[in-house]
Every structure is written in structure tokens, then in C-alpha cells.
């Protein structure tokens, strides 16, 4: 097979009928991961992609070296205090994974950071570079120190399928206990005395649905099932309040919550329901003194905060009222104050509610930024740890002194090679959607970049997830070569509050896709962009597929990472991971013919047409449990068979999960591969535009 000849997926017609509609799926056979023909096809696609991108080898290496050279490879996080210890992680040059450490507290000030040097007296808790062994993949699921700091619970995954093995380690001796529990999910919670640990497991559809109690020093076979969620729309999770007074067992669908609590001093007791679930009511809790704090949306679309007595947790009394212009995201309870994380006008903010005194908001220096509480495990504290970044300011860690109201910069992530924020500039634009809605757009470019410029346009737009302004070392390789980077804050995300989400889900989902196209057209009309390369992943990959179906002429290239492009077939199959819980997000096409018709009208795989499409790079992972590998594989096969244009490339990581390769150097190489393809498309697209104008 020559490098110019793509693999041709065989057609094996498979018929399905729903609501009187019969559909032939020629590529359904690709869903069989164990079929040698499937693996052979994926390997052939990888070989073709390798050949098609061979001319980019030098550029890939250059971008990788730029990422590496700008990154302080040996580094430390800012230590966070919990009890008598400072906890932090660090990295070492040449090593793929982080090292978790702690240091005994001496005074209230975090220890001085010295990159490249372990802190004197530190204790290494976990070293990922040791744990990984010879495995090509490694991920941590849980890492939780018990309340008195004497033991550590941790879980590991060596395949990328997000099923972890839980182990326990004594921190005074370093001994790893004989207790070993396979096939658990993320998270967990310790009992107050460290005698028990609660964890979750998943069902065949990868839904966390059971909570078990493990008594330290016993066999996993003796673990007690304390809760099982029978409603397939609900996930369960387990954790502790910051006070460590209560174990919190949460069950939630996309639109409904139910929380149970247990006094952490009595791990064998019964969990009590805070308030029974009611469809459409979401809530979370934290604990302070003799009350619970409840963040909820009952009669409050953008959420409000209530207080309730511990002995009557269903009696909610308003504390922070609802505001139509402010989406409340979280409430953190401390011994003497509350901290509210919120969103307003497309940006995040932080509000402090002192025990004595008037509430106030913390101000930040840049008009476009992201700020959130981060790393605050200590319940009794006079400082608030914050994470801050913008599109030109690297991730920064602040302590906010609650007495002096002073922001104290503890660390800004180093960017080596002479990076100066002043050399770059960020902007907020507003595009207008088809229905007149104004869509925010965040833009960053190197100062002095001639316009219009080739542009990467990123989008997501699902699950009320917000793509907030952030910094990227890798992105500098684009900006320094004259590209613009923009984020389209389309509906379906949460950037403008709950309304923004509601206008981009269920029967409003098409707004997400038309918003993205409207932003692309705005960037061209307003003189920002020449050719545009679109990029998105997971549900953002669905956005990529739908947008390119709508307006292929607007894009010079599309990068779709672990893309949810076969959404209708997936959501029709309740046996697949995550399907039933997704019905609250997309609708239920299995039982509702109107939802079926609506989804069929927009899902990328169903709507490929014979127009000329731009080149497309689809990236996936064989062990992905969230968006299965066959979705992009089928999509690319149908693109080749139906559409003009291209080329259409598929790259499959044969030993990774939803997040791609796990080691940081491996991840940098993957990003360098993607960025080199984007740069090539920008340059080629500009050449093609020039030729067309001639």
C-alpha cells in the first residue's frame, strides 16, 4: 500500500430499525475490539497516518523540543497544609511521572521551594516512576491520607480502562499492607479513626453504582456493601466533608441529586438521607459547626446556598440567595468562614463570607482570567489557597490572607526560554449566533501578529462544562509562528450560567454547532482569521463532526480527539458504558421517536454528505471507556466512502484510555504531533486560498 492510498474499510451491512426507521450501518463490525480484522484495520490506519505525516517529522521534533525547553522539568507544587504536614508533589527531569511527598510542619509559612532539590526531611509517599514498572501506561485513581496522617490509600490503573486496584500503605514504616481490592472506581473516604475505607465499584456499563466498606487488615472478600444504586441514570460517589466529620455518599444523574451522610466516627453506622431525590433538583453539601451548607437549584436556576441543622438536614434556610446574573458553582466551608465560587459574565470569581462581617469578593488584575479555590484541605485556617491563570499568565498559586485581605503570590509556573507575558495579548470578542444570541470568544495572540492570521478555534459545549481562559506552554509553539488561538464559548457549556447550558442540550443541541460556525464566520469577517483549523475532544469531538457537516468550507482542517461522533448509535444502546445516564443530556432516542429524529438530524456519523470536506485528523485510544474507539474509526471510514476532500486520518493509541498516553514526555510528543499537523494545515490552507484567488 502506497502512502497515498488510505485503508479501505470493508462494508458489512448491519441493519437496525427504530421507530419505523431502518438504517444500514456498513461499519458496525468495527465495534468488535477482539476481532483480528478490527485490530488489523486500526493498525493499517496508523500506518497510513504515519506515512501521510512523515514530512512533518522534523517539525514534530522541533515542537516537542520547544515544549520540553519551556518546561521546568524538575519542579515542585506549592505545599498544602493538612494537620501536621505539608503535602506536595514534584517532578524530576527525565522522569515521566510525579512524586508525591510530605514534610512536617514548622510554623505557618509553607517551606521555601527550590526546584531541583528534594526538600530536606521530606517523606516520599508515592513515586509514579517506581509504581509504573515496565507498563506502557500508568494512572492514579485515588490518593488519600487518613485523618491522623498515619496511612495512605492509593489506587492504580495500568491499562487506561479506569478500573483501579486499591492498596494501603503505612506511612510510619512504608509497609504496603496485604489488603488489595481490584476493579474499583475513583475516589474514596476514610473513617475518622482510619479503621475503615469506603470505595465505589462500577457495573458492566462502567457506571459507579456500589459503595463498599473495607476494614483495614481484612480480606476484600469480607467487604460490606453499604449502598447500591439501582437507577441506571445515577452515578454514586463517596468522600469526606472538609471538616472530616462526615462521610458523604452522593448519588446523581445529570439533573437530579440525592446525598447521604454518615458520622465518620461510626463507620459501621447507617447513612442518613439529607433530602430525598426529586427530579430536576440538584444539590451538594459541606459541613460547618452545627450545620450543613447546601448548594442547590430548587426554585433557583443559577443555584443558591442554604443552611440546615445537622439533626434536620432537610430543613433548608436560605443563606446566599439566587441571582439571575450569577451562577453559584461551589461552597467551601471552613471553621470561621465560607468561600463561594461563582461565575458571572463568562468569568469565574470568589466571594468570602466571614463568620463576623460583611461578605466581599476578591478582585483580580486581568479582565480575562480564571480563578478558583484550590488545595485547601485544612479546616481551621486563616488563609485561602487560590489557583489563577489567564491566556497570557501561567498557572499561579496565591494565598489570600483573610485578615489583611492581601493576595500573596506563592508561585507562578516557570516558563523557560525568556517567556514574557507582555509579548502576548488576550481579547474578549462577541460573535452573534443565528438567533441573535451573543457568543463570547476568548482570543490570544503574540503581540504584533499580522491580521488576518491562521487560527485554531477550540470548542466543547456540553455538560455545562466551561472552557475558561487558561495558559498553555504547548500553545506558544503556535502563537510564535504567527497563529491566533481562540475559544468559542458556545451554548451547552456553562460559561454564561445555567441558561447557557439549557440552550445547548436536549432539543436545543443544534445551537452548540451553529454557534461554533457563527464564531468561525465572525472571526473571518472581523479580520481576525484567515484559515481556521477547528479542534475539540470527546463531546467537543461531536461538535467538530457536526460543525464540519454544517459548514465544511469554513475550516482548513479539523482535529477531533476521542470524538463522540457516533452519538446516536451509542445512545441507542443501553448496554454500552455511560449510555443510560446520558439520556438526561441528549434525550432518550431508544424510547422517544422525536428524540431519535432530532439526534439523527445532527449526529456526525449519520450526516456525512458528499460535499468537499477539509482534512481531518481523528485521534482515539483503544482502551477508552468513555468514547469507544470505534466511533472515530467508523466516522473516518464513512468519510472516505462518502465525502470529497480530505485526507481523513485516524490515529489510535493501542495502549491508552480517554486521556491518551499517560507519561508527560509521551503526552508532549502526542501534542507535538497534533500541533505540527495544525501548523501544516494552516500553511497549506493559506497556499490553497492564494491559488483559489488567482
Q: Which residues are catalytic?
A: 538, 624, 658
Give residues with Cβ within 8 angstroms of 41, minimum separation 6: 7, 9, 30, 633
Residues 6+ apart with CB under 8 A from 190: 144, 146, 147, 153, 196, 197, 198, 240, 264
**Burial grade of 417 (CB within 10 A; 0-12, 13-18, 19 or more):** exposed
351/338 Cα distance (integer angstroms)? 8
- Locus of grid cell 466571614: 354
- CA torsion through residues 506, 624, 661, 532, sign: negative
**Cβ atoms 101, 91 nearer than 8 A:** no
Contact 306/318 with Cβ under 8 angstroms? Answer: yes
Compute the distance between CA of residue 651 and CA of residue 618 in angstroms, rounded to an integer: 6
Strand-pair partners of 537: 561
Residue 133 in grid coordinates: 514498572
Buried-state track 5-24, b at ≥16 Cβ within 10 A, e below 16 = ebbebeeeeeeeebeeeeee
With H, G, I as helix, E, B as strand and everything else as coil, classify residue 254: coil
DSSP structural state of residue 134: T
DSSP states of 312-336 as a string? -TT--EEEE--BTTBEEEEEEE-SS
Q: Residues near 133 by Cβ (< 8 Å), separated by ≥ 6?
A: none
User: Is residue 426 a contact partner of residue 441, using CB atoms and an 8 Å limit?
Assistant: no
CB 293 within 8 A of CB 332: no
Sign of the dihedral through C-alpha 184, 197, 242, 258? positive
C-alpha cell at 451: 491580521
CB distance 59 to 679 below 8 Å: yes
Judging by beta carbons within 10 Å of its beta carbon (0-12, 13-18, 19+), is residue 386 exposed, middle or buried?
buried
Amino acid at each position: 500500500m502506497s502512502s497515498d492510498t488510505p485503508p479501505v474499510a470493508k462494508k458489512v451491512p448491519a441493519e437496525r430499525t427504530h421507530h419505523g426507521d431502518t438504517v444500514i450501518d456498513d461499519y458496525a463490525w468495527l465495534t468488535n475490539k477482539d476481532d483480528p480484522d478490527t485490530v488489523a484495520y486500526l493498525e493499517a490506519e496508523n500506518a497510513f497516518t504515519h506515512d501521510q505525516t512523515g514530512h512533518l517529522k522534523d517539525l514534530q521534533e522541533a515542537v516537542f523540543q520547544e515544549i520540553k525547553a519551556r518546561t521546568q522539568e524538575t519542579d515542585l507544587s506549592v505545599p498544602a497544609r493538612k494537620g501536621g504536614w505539608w503535602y506536595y508533589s514534584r517532578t524530576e527531569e527525565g522522569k515521566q511521572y510525579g512524586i508525591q511527598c510530605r514534610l512536617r510542619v514548622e510554623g505557618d509559612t509553607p517551606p521555601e521551594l527550590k526546584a531541583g532539590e528534594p526538600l530536606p526531611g521530606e517523606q516520599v509517599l508515592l513515586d509514579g516512576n517506581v509504581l509504573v514498572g515496565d507498563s506502557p501506561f500508568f494512572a492514579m485513581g485515588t490518593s488519600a491520607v487518613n485523618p491522623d496522617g498515619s496511612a495512605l490509600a492509593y489506587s492504580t490503573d495500568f491499562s487506561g480502562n479506569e478500573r483501579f486496584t486499591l492498596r494501603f500503605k503505612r506511612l510510619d514504616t512504608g509497609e504496603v499492607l496485604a489488603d488489595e481490592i481490584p476493579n474499583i472506581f475513583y475516589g474514596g473516604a476514610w473513617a475518622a479513626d482510619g479503621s475503615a475505607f469506603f470505595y465505589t465499584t462500577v457495573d458492566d456499563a462502567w457506571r459507579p453504582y456500589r459503595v463498599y466498606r473495607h476494614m483495614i487488615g481484612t480480606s476484600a472478600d469480607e467487604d460490606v456493601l453499604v449502598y447500591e444504586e439501582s437507577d441506571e441514570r445515577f452515578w454514586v460517589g463517596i468522600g469526606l466533608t472538609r471538616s472530616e466529620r462526615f462521610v458523604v455518599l452522593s448519588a446523581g444523574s445529570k439533573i437530579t441529586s440525592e446525598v447521604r451522610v454518615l458520622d465518620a466516627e461510626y463507620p459501621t453506622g447507617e447513612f442518613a438521607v439529607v433530602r430525598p431525590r426529586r427530579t430536576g433538583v440538584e444539590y451538594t453539601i459541606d459541613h460547618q459547626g452545627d450545620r450543613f451548607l447546601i448548594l442547590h437549584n430548587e426554585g433557583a436556576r443559577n443555584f443558591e446556598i442554604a443552611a440546615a441543622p445537622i439533626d434536620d438536614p432537610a430543613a433548608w434556610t436560605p443563606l446566599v440567595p439566587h441571582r439571575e446574573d450569577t451562577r453559584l458553582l461551589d461552597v467551601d466551608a471552613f471553621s470561621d468562614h465560607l468561600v463561594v465560587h461563582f461565575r458571572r459574565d463568562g468569568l469565574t470569581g470568589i466571594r468570602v463570607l466571614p463568620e463576623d462581617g460583611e461578605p466581599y469578593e476578591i478582585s483580580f488584575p486581568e479582565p480575562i482570567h480564571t480563578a478558583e479555590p484550590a488545595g485547601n484541605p485544612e479546616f481551621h485556617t486563616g488563609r485561602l489557597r487560590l489557583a489563577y491563570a489567564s491566556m497570557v499568565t501561567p498557572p499561579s498559586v496565591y494565598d489570600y490572607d483573610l485578615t489583611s485581605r492581601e493576595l500573596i503570590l506563592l508561585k507562578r509556573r516557570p516558563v523557560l526560554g525568556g517567556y514574557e507575558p507582555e509579548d502576548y495579548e488576550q481579547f474578549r470578542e462577541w460573535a452573534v449566533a443565528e438567533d441573535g444570541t451573543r457568543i463570547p470568544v476568548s482570543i490570544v495572540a503574540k503581540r504584533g501578529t499580522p491580521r488576518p492570521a491562521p487560527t485554531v478555534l477550540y470548542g466543547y459545549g456540553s455538560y455545562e462544562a466551561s472552557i475558561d481562559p487558561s495558559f498553555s506552554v504547548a500553545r506558544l509553539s503556535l502563537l510564535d509562528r504567527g497563529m491566533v488561538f481562540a475559544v468559542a464559548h458556545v451554548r451547552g457549556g456553562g460559561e454564561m450560567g445555567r441558561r447557557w447550558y439549557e440552550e445547548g442540550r436536549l432539543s436545543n443541541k443544534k445551537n452548540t454547532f451553529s454557534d461554533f460556525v457563527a464564531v468561525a464566520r465572525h472571526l473571518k469577517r472581523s479580520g481576525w482569521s484567515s484559515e481556521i483549523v477547528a479542534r475539540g475532544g470527546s463531546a467537543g469531538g461531536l461538535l467538530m463532526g457536526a460543525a464540519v457537516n454544517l459548514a465544511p468550507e469554513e475550516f482548513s482542517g479539523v482535529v477531533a480527539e476521542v470524538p463522540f461522533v457516533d452519538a446516536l448509535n451509542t445512545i441507542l444502546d443501553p448496554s454500552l458504558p455511560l449510555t443510560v445516564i446520558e439520556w438526561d443530556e441528549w434525550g432518550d432516542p431508544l424510547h422517544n421517536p422525536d428524540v431519535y429524529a432530532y439526534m439523527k438530524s445532527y449526529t456526525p456519523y449519520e450526516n456525512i454528505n458528499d460535499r468537499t470536506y477539509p482534512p481531518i485528523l481523528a485521534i482515539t485510544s483503544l482502551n477508552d471507556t468513555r468514547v469507544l474507539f470505534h466511533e472515530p474509526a467508523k466516522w473516518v471510514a464513512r468519510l472516505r466512502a462518502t465525502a470529497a476532500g480530505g485526507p481523513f486520518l485516524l490515529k489510535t493509541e493501542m495502549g491508552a484510555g480517554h486521556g491518551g498516553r499517560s507519561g508527560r514526555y509521551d503526552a508532549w510528543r502526542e501534542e507535538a504531533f497534533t500541533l505540527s499537523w495544525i501548523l501544516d494545515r494552516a500553511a497549506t490552507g493559506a497556499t490553497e486560498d492564494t491559488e483559489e484567488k488567482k
